[in-house]
């Protein structure tokens, strides 16, 4: 019995720590995340407020679905913003923006489910790499662009979604005219995984909900993904706005200094929110909307161009 205890105990300890880390993460979420769940239900259950779109795809590893929601059922060209959520998350991370009547009057509001999140699925290994996700989401951007009368769109992403949107913009310049980065990692060395990511990685996956396991895998792969994306980031010429909270503990605000040396070909604008933490998409919607409006103006000359 003593020998068995010596063999099993380290594994049990790791499992306990990993499970505890997951529990603590869930318990100490800001109240705005809980509030957003109620807002998402309101949006989902209000007839005519959103329209669901599903693309059925076939890739090298099999069939999968891509899902997004839109505030506008028409196909006439108009100013359009496409929101991209972080990790974990889904389209409902931006649910409150579908309740902003003035905003919706001026913009078609769209929010996507990244591959493996919400109603979007995947085939084969979970797509942790930014480039893989970009490859998978290309048809979604094309579909939105075509349904918008082939008028270019604005991309706005939060957190990991904010790391993804400049890559999407670089890969699909025919469809995108401006980028809004909301608290996103850009510099590889500042996106390194933290101690709790390593603990969760050590924990057997059957002890962790898929949501947290998949989110952790994305975070662990982010530094490498960003390293691979640097040349494409640097090639961007369209307007970019970065919105960053000064008190963000998940994305280092020092990344702004690096962004200024990276996006040298772009019309780059930085918006600081004093005292703001990481979830600026939930806590500072007015600033997010203003950033979208501003970049819409700055990129308007490219609105109808297909390059």
- Interval 174-186: pLDDT, tens: 999 999 999 999 9
Q: Which of 48, 40, 74, 86 is nearest to 144 (CA)?
A: 74
Global pTM reads: 0.89
Looking at the predicted structure, is the pLDDT value of residue 105 above 70? yes
Provide the pLDDT for residue 8.
33
Q: Residue 206 — very low, low, confident or very high, per pLDDT cuts 50/70/90? A: low
Kindly report the three-state secondary structure assignment for every residue of the chain: CHHHHHHHHHHHHHHHHHHHHHHHHHHCCCHHHHHHHHHHHHHHHCCCCCEEEEEEEEECCEEEEEEEEECCCCCCCCCEEEEECCCCCCHHHHHHHHHCHHHHHHCEEEEECCCCCCCCCCCCCCCCCHHHHHHHHHHHHHHHHHHCCCCCEEEEEECHHHHHHHHHHHHCCCCEEEEEEECCCCCHHHHCCCHHHHHHHHCCHHHCCHHHHHHHHHHHCHHHHHHHHHHHHHHCCCCEEEEEECCCCCCCCCHHHHHHHHCCCCCEEEEEECCCCCCHHHHCHHHHHHHHHHHHHHCHHHCCCCC
Provide the pLDDT for residue 261.
97
Mean pLDDT of 40-59: 96
Looking at the predicted structure, is the pLDDT value of residue 194 above 90? no
Residues facing residue 51 across a β-bridge: 70
The vertex-35 CA angle with 54 and 30, nearest 5°, equals 110
- Interval 221-255: pLDDT, tens: 999 999 999 999 999 999 999 999 999 999 999 99
Poorest-confidence range of 256-260, 280-284, 299-303? 299-303
Q: Residue 202 — very low, low, confident or very high, per pLDDT cuts 50/70/90? A: low
Rounded alpha-carbon distances, angstroms, from residue 204 to 15, 21, 201, 255 = 7, 13, 8, 33
Mean pLDDT of 79-88: 98
Poorest-confidence range of 10-19, 90-99, 199-208? 10-19
Provide the pLDDT for residue 212.
81
Mean pLDDT of 104-108: 98
Mean pLDDT of 100-111: 98
Rounded Cα distance, 30 and 171, in Å: 34
Provide the pLDDT for residue 210.
82
**Percentage of residues of the chain with pLDDT beyond 70:** 86
């Amino acid at each position: 019995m003593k020998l068995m205890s010596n063999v099993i105990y380290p594994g049990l300890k790791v499992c306990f720590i990993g499970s505890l880390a997951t529990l603590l993460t869930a318990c100490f979420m800001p109240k705005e995340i809980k509030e957003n769940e109620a807002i998402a239900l309101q949006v989902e259950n209000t007839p005519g407020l959103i329209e669901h779109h599903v693309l059925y795809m076939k890739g090298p590893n099999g069939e999968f679905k891509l899902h997004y929601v839109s505030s506008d059922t028409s196909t006439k060209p108009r100013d359009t913003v496409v929101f991209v959520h972080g990790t974990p998350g889904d389209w409902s991370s931006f649910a409150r923006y579908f309740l902003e009547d003035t905003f919706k009057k001026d913009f078609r509001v769209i929010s996507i489910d990244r591959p493996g999140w919400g109603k979007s699925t995947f085939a084969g290994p979970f797509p942790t790499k930014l480039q893989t996700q970009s490859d998978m989401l290309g048809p979604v951007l094309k579909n939105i662009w075509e349904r918008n009368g082939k008028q270019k769109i604005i991309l706005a992403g939060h957190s990991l979604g904010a790391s993804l949107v400049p890559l999407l913009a670089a890969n699909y310049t025919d469809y995108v005219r401006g980028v809004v980065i909301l608290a996103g990692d850009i510099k590889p060395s500042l996106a390194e995984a933290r101690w709790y990511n390593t603990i969760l990685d050590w924990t057997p996956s059957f002890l962790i909900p898929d949501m947290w396991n998949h989110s952790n895998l994305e975070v662990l792969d982010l530094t490498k993904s960003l390293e691979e994306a640097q040349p494409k980031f640097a090639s961007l010429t369209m307007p970019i706005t970065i919105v960053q909270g000064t008190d963000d503990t998940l994305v280092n605000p020092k990344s702004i200094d690096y962004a200024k040396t990276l996006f040298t070909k772009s019309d780059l604008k930085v918006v600081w929110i004093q005292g703001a933490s990481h979830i600026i998409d939930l806590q500072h919607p007015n600033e997010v909307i203003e950033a979208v409006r501003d970049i819409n103006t700055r990129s308007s000359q490219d609105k109808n161009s297909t390059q």
